[in-house]
Chains A and B, each alone.
Chain A
Amino acid sequence: MRTARRLKSLQARLLAPLLGLLTVVWLGAAVMTWFDASHELDELLDGHLAQAAALLIMQQGHTHEEDSVEDAPSLHKYAPKVVFQVFHEGRLVLRSANAGTAPIAGNAQGFSTVRLTDDAEWRVFATRGAEHDVQVYVGEQTESRSSILWAVLQGVLLPLVIALPLLALVGWWAVRQGLAPLRHLSQVLARRRPQAMEPLLIPDLSTEMVPMVQAMNGLFERIEQMLVSERRFTADAAHELRTPIAAIRAQAQVALGAGNDAAQRDHALQFTLAGCDRATHLVEQLLTLARLEAAPASAADAVAKADLSALARRVAADLAPTALARGQTLELEALAACQVAGDETLIGVLVRNLIDNALRYSPNNAQVVVSVAIESGQAVLRVQDSGAGMTEPEIARLGERFYRVLGSDQPGSGLGWSIVKRIATVFGAQAHVSRSERLGGLAVAVRWPR
């Protein structure tokens, strides 16, 4: 949770690692300083202790009165932190004012750390003279070493304590300044009209933001293209829907006004019904297309398989009566089975649209051949007819929704090809229109990659 929240603020994302790293580095430096300083200090002060002990041994030449202990004068306020004892032949002859009468470090020679009667910790150096008749102890309170170390350490840590908030403040300000172009951009975006699709023009754009603004402009462009195509689609759809409705209305009114003219009334009513069928077909096609447009652009990953041959057989059987009624021949040349990638229902819609178009736009008595084959490893559905075919410019315009070849008298919706292309795209297939070598009319081939 905390990371998620922290990630939300660029400010925090930039500042937190920076200040964190700074603190760690500084603390590391402090620890190293501590070890270094304490090591050096120990060596130095131990050296002093040894040196002092040596001095005391050297001074042993001078004679002491029997049975008397000399107390050394205390000359400095730090004197109570230092202690020494000098024994001669087992007898205490010289000591500091704060030293007791018992040897402070027993028999141990060299450096040792002991706790004395005052319950403080002392660093003690014990040594004997060359003739082993003198025993010298020199001690120093360890606490005084610690206070020196602390003083050194404070010198290191204090700047950090002061600098950290200062750095945070400066960092915050710098980041804020650095993010100003981002705030400016958001203001520009907030002020934009929702319909505005022109590219963003921001002067003095920082280099880091150029890709983002470019991406946004690209997005605006794509949205605009989509809107334009949507608007055109709506206008075209309105046109295509209004015409059959206008026809239905006109024919119904003619039927109403026919009076005693039964022939005219029947004719008008027939046309009214035909108009309803046409409007229904158009609405169905529109809905199919709308559903397809809502579908993701590529469903090639989907593992669904459809049997192209079986679908072609079924659709051809469905449409055969229509063909027969117009004296058209509908032939099917299909493999026993041919599996292609794709949803069965959608591929069925594709096959139906292709065959339906071929029959619809071919004259009476025309020939339509549907074939399913494997060509160089690719499954190919081909629908050919002996109709008038199409000219190159007509083929080029075929992709436009609602485009129908002028003068064709068939009540098509002009959406069939759009639907075919869309379904093919969804399943990674390619649709291609050309002139039929075999029948002279139009040939449409849909290829599925291997």
Chain B
Amino acid sequence: MKNVQSLGALMEERGVSRRAFLKYASYVASLMALPPAAAAAMAEGLAKARRQSVIWLSFQECTGCTESITRAHSPTLENLIFDFISLDYQEVLMAACGEAADAARHAAMADNKGKYIVVVEGSVPTKDGGIYSAIGGVSNLQMLQETVENAFAVVAVGSCASFGGIPKANPNPTGAVAISDLIGGKPLINISGCPPIPEAIVGSLSYILSFGKLPELDHLGRPKAFFGETIHDRCYRRPFYERGLFADSFDDDGARQGWCLYKVGCKGPVTYNACATLKWNGGVSFPIQSGHGCLGCSEPNFWDGGGFYRPLPTPLGATGTVLAGAAVAGAALGLGASHLARKHQKNYLAAPKSEED
């Protein structure tokens, strides 16, 4: 689809007032913690921008990330698709299928060479030539390399695309890897989470559209606006943590009182995401508010982190067995040392003494 009309003109044609447009820009700017002046710049940038061609590739995934974005409440997915972006290829949402769908992808790549954004959902299997996941006979690896070649930027949506996620979890039978391992130096944003917060996806896309560049990212390539603080730092149960009030199980008095879930395995202190502030389903709730600890799903290797219900301070690995072995070894060494000392003493006492002694 060729998108020659600017978004501003398109909005005007559809009867969207400048006020409504500014309101939207202000909302996205505040979501990303941008200064107030950035809202006007964002609106201006969006008005001048063409509808952005987006190619959404789905690889080793569960479609949870797509499910998530369909629940974006502001802007809604409909707003995003019809007003701001041209979603040229998305297997779940597009009407076309089979060869027609693939033709749409190739057409979008040809028409928007160097300008389109590739959104990737899911990790990519690399073992045995990447045969473990293919679409129409084309392996994910091949499709990614082909599509990314002339892209402006890549957005890895979800923990599988960002860090390998569940497919990469031990023992990783398909040799799954994160998108960052396969795209060389292409500009990349990781929007991790299982699934990621929809506002983080649409907010980041809106930012690229408005300013023509990637937002500020953390060391894991995630937008700092959404991944700048831990769940724990923004959690409404934090005061209970500070007071030493914890739920010991999911059905005790502490749990009913809404106390901190740290003892039942909450990974909030080491998980960077915006769940505690943006929440889910239009700001209704988030896992901790619903009574379950954070799983740490937006962090790398969260599936192999030692168990969802294992408290953070507990050591990882088979500590008990190792310590039992260490105790036996220590006792044996102690007895051995004592035996040697006794033997030495006995020999010393039995030895003939010189006159100096």
Task: State yes or no: do A and B come from one complex.
Answer: no
